[in-house]
C-alpha cells in the first residue's frame, strides 16, 4: 500500500477496535504490504486485493461488505510519470473514481471522502489558494484529479450524496515509495549517489509529515461537512534545491557550499513544473486541526526509516532514476 494511505489504515485499525477497516488495494508497483505488517493479524482489519476500475467487482464488494464510510486514496500519483502515461492516469484516476463513487452511492454509504491534491489549483507565485479558488491544473496527474473531483462533487449536487473532498500539500515520512522527491533524495544519498534536481530546483513545495496528515483525515472523518472541500496545508515551504542541501547537510555532515554542490546533479526539467502551491487551510483550522510535527523531527525519522526499509519494494532501485523508467509499468489495456 502507498505511503499516506497506509498510515491512515494503521491509525484507524489501532484506534477504532470496534470498526472493521477494509483495505482495498490493487498492489501496483508503488505498493508494499510491509507497511501494514503491524496490523495484518488484527481482528478488525481485512485486506482485499482488487481494482477500482472493475465495476462488477466493486459493486459486488459493496453488496457483500457493510461499508459505512469510504476514504478514497487510490490513484496514480507520480507527476513525472503522468507526462508519459497520460491515458493511464485519466483511466485510473477519473474512471476508477467514477466507478467507486457510483457504487458507494448505490450502497447508500454514509460518507465518501475523496483525497485530492493541492496541484489541482495550478501554480502561483503570490496568490494563496482557498477552497473556492478556480482549478487550473497544469500536468496530466493534476488534471485527472481535478476531473475526478467534478464527478465526486456532482453526486452531492445531484443526489445530496455525502461526499467530502480534501486537497493536501506534499506528504512525506515513512512508507512512501521512493519515486517521490524526499525519499528519492534520502535513498540516493544513503547509496552515496547525487540528488537529481529537475531544472533550476527553485520550485517550492509545502511538506506535511505523515502523522499530521493522518490527524487531518481523522478530523475530516469526524467533523467534515458533506459537500465541502478542505485544504490540508502547511506554511512550511522549501525549494527543491534547499531540500537537497538540507538532506546533504544532515546525512553527509557538511555545510560547505562546494561540497554540497558535489552531491547535486541538475537534469532537464519536466514539461511543466509549477513554482508554488500556497494554500489557505483556515477551514481545517476551524475544525480543530493544525500540523504539529516540526520539520527537523519529521525529516530525522524519515531518514532513519529509509536507511532500514528501502528494500520494502522489490523495484525500489528503479525509482531512483532522474525520470521514470517506463518499462516498469505494464501497458494499459483500457476496455
Q: Which residues are catalytic?
A: 118-119, 141
Cell numbers at 1, concatenated: 500500500
Amino acid at each position: 500500500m502507498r505511503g499516506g494511505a497506509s498510515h491512515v489504515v494503521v491509525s484507524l485499525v489501532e484506534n477504532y477496535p470496534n470498526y472493521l477497516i477494509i483495505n482495498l488495494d490493487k498492489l501496483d508497483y508503488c505498493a508494499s504490504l510491509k507497511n501494514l505488517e503491524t496490523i495484518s493479524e488484527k481482528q478488525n482489519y481485512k485486506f482485499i486485493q482488487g481494482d477500482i476500475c472493475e465495476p462488477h467487482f466493486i459493486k459486488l464488494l459493496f453488496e457483500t461488505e457493510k461499508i459505512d464510510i469510504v476514504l478514497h486514496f487510490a490513484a496514480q500519483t507520480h507527476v513525472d510519470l503522468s507526462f508519459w502515461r497520460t491515458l493511464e492516469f485519466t483511466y485510473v484516476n477519473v474512471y476508477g473514481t467514477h466507478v467507486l463513487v457510483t457504487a458507494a452511492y448505490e450502497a447508500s454509504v454514509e460518507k465518501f471522502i475523496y483525497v485530492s491534491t493541492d496541484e489541482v489549483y495550478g501554480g502561483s507565485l503570490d496568490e494563496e489558494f482557498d477552497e473556492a479558488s478556480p482549478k487550473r491544473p497544469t500536468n496530466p496527474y493534476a488534471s485527472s484529479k481535478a476531473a475526478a473531483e467534478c464527478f465526486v462533487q456532482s453526486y452531492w449536487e445531484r443526489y445530496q450524496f455525502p461526499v467530502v473532498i480534501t486537497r493536501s500539500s506534499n506528504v512525506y515520512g515513512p512508507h512512501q515509495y521512493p519515486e517521490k522527491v524526499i525519499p528519492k533524495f534520502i535513498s540516493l544519498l544513503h547509496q552515496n549517489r547525487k540528488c537529481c534536481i529537475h531544472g533550476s530546483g527553485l520550485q517550492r513545495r509545502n511538506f506535511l509529515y505523515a502523522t499530521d496528515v493522518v490527524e487531518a483525515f481523522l478530523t475530516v472523518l469526524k467533523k467534515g461537512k458533506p459537500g465541502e472541500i478542505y485544504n490540508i496545508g502547511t506554511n512550511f515551504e522549501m525549494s527543491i534545491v534547499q531540500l537537497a542541501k538540507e538532506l546533504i547537510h544532515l546525512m553527509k555532515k557538511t555545510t560547505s557550499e562546494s561540497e554540497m554542490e558535489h552531491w547535486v546533479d541538475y537534469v532537464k526539467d519536466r514539461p511543466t513544473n509549477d513554482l508554488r502551491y500556497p494554500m489557505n487551510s483556515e477551514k481545517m483550522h476551524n475544525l480543530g486541526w493544525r500540523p504539529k510535527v516540526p520539520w527537523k523531527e519529521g525529516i530525522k525519522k524519515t531518514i532513519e526509516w529509509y536507511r532500514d526499509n528501502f528494500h520494502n519494494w522489490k523495484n525500489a532501485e528503479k525509482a531512483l532514476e532522474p525520470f521514470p523508467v517506463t518499462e516498469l509499468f505494464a501497458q494499459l489495456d483500457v476496455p
